[in-house]
Structure 1
Amino acid sequence: MQFPQVGSEPARRYNTQLLNAVVLYVGAQAIAYIRSKGQTPNMTTIAHSSHMDIFQNFTVDFDYEGRYLFFNAIANQLRYPNSHTHYFSCCLLYLFAEANSEAIQEQITRMLLERLIVNRPHPWGLLITFIELIKNPVYKFWSHEFVHCAPEIEKLFASVAHSCVAEKTAGGEVAE
Structure 2
Amino acid sequence: MLLRIASRLADLSPRYLPGFAYGWLSLIQHRAFLPAILKERAGWSAYTTLLRMLFEFVGQQLKAPEPTAVARDTYRATLKLLVVLQHDFTEYIAAHSDQLRMSLPPHCKQLINAILAANPASQDALSPNADQSNGSKAKETTEDDTAILLREHGLLGVVDQALHTGPSEDGLAHMTRAINESDARETGFAHVSIKANLSVIEAIILHVGKYAVGRLAQGGESFNPSSTDVAVLSLLMHELAPEPRYYLIVGMVNQLRFPGDMTSYFSRVLLEIFGRDLNDPDDTEIRQQITRVLWERLIGFWPQPWGLMITVLELLKNEKYAFFDLPFVKSSPEIIDRFHAVLQLLAMAGYLHPQSNKTQGRR
Q: What is the RMSD of the two structures over their aligned residues, measured on CA atoms?
A: 2.1
Question: How far apart are 1:124 and its partner, in Å?
Answer: 0.5
TM-score (normalizing by structure 1): 0.84
> In the TM superposition, what whole-angstrom CA distance separates every residue of 1:61-94 from its partner, at most 9, and x where no partner exists?
0111111100011011111001111011101111
Q: Quick one: distance in 1 between partners of 2:221 and 2:317?
A: 23
The 1:126–1:150 alpha-carbon spacing in structure 2 relative to 1, beyond 3 Å, is: closer
Aligned ranges 1:53-92 → 2 under 5 Å = 53-92=231-270
Q: Quick one: distance in 1 between partners of 2:292 and 2:347?
A: 18
Q: Quick one: distance in 2 between partners of 1:127 and 1:150?
A: 21
The 1:33–1:40 alpha-carbon spacing in structure 2 relative to 1, beyond 3 Å, is: closer
User: Does structure 1 retain, via aligned residues, the 8 Å contact 2:295–2:335?
Assistant: no
Residue in structure 1 matched with residue 214 of structure 2 by the alignment:
32
Asked if 1:137 corresponds to 2:319, the answer is yes
Residue in structure 2 matched with residue 174 of structure 1 by the alignment:
none
Q: Quick one: distance in 1 between partners of 2:275 and 2:193?
A: 27
Q: Quick one: distance in 2 between partners of 1:167 and 1:110?
A: 24
Aligned ranges 1:143-162 → 2 under 5 Å = 143-162=325-344
Number of equivalences: 166
Q: Secondary structure at the match of 1:13?
A: coil
Aligned ranges 1:107-146 → 2 under 5 Å = 107-146=289-328
Residue in structure 1 matched with residue 181 of structure 2 by the alignment:
6
Question: How far apart are 1:19 and its partner, in Å?
Answer: 0.5
Q: Secondary structure at the match of 1:98?
A: coil
Question: How far apart are 1:35 and its partner, in Å?
Answer: 4.2
Structure number with the bigger relative contact order (C-alpha 8 A, sep ≥ 6) is: 1
The 1:153–1:79 alpha-carbon spacing in structure 2 relative to 1, beyond 3 Å, is: closer
Residue in structure 2 matched with residue 51 of structure 1 by the alignment:
229
Query: What is the identity percentage for the equivalent residue pairs of Structure 1 and Structure 2?
Result: 32
Runs of at least 5 residues in structure 1 that lack an aligned partner in the other structure: 171-176
The 1:159–1:58 alpha-carbon spacing in structure 2 relative to 1, beyond 3 Å, is: same
Residue in structure 2 matched with residue 166 of structure 1 by the alignment:
348
Residue in structure 1 matched with residue 121 of structure 2 by the alignment:
none
Question: How far apart are 1:136 and its partner, in Å?
Answer: 0.8
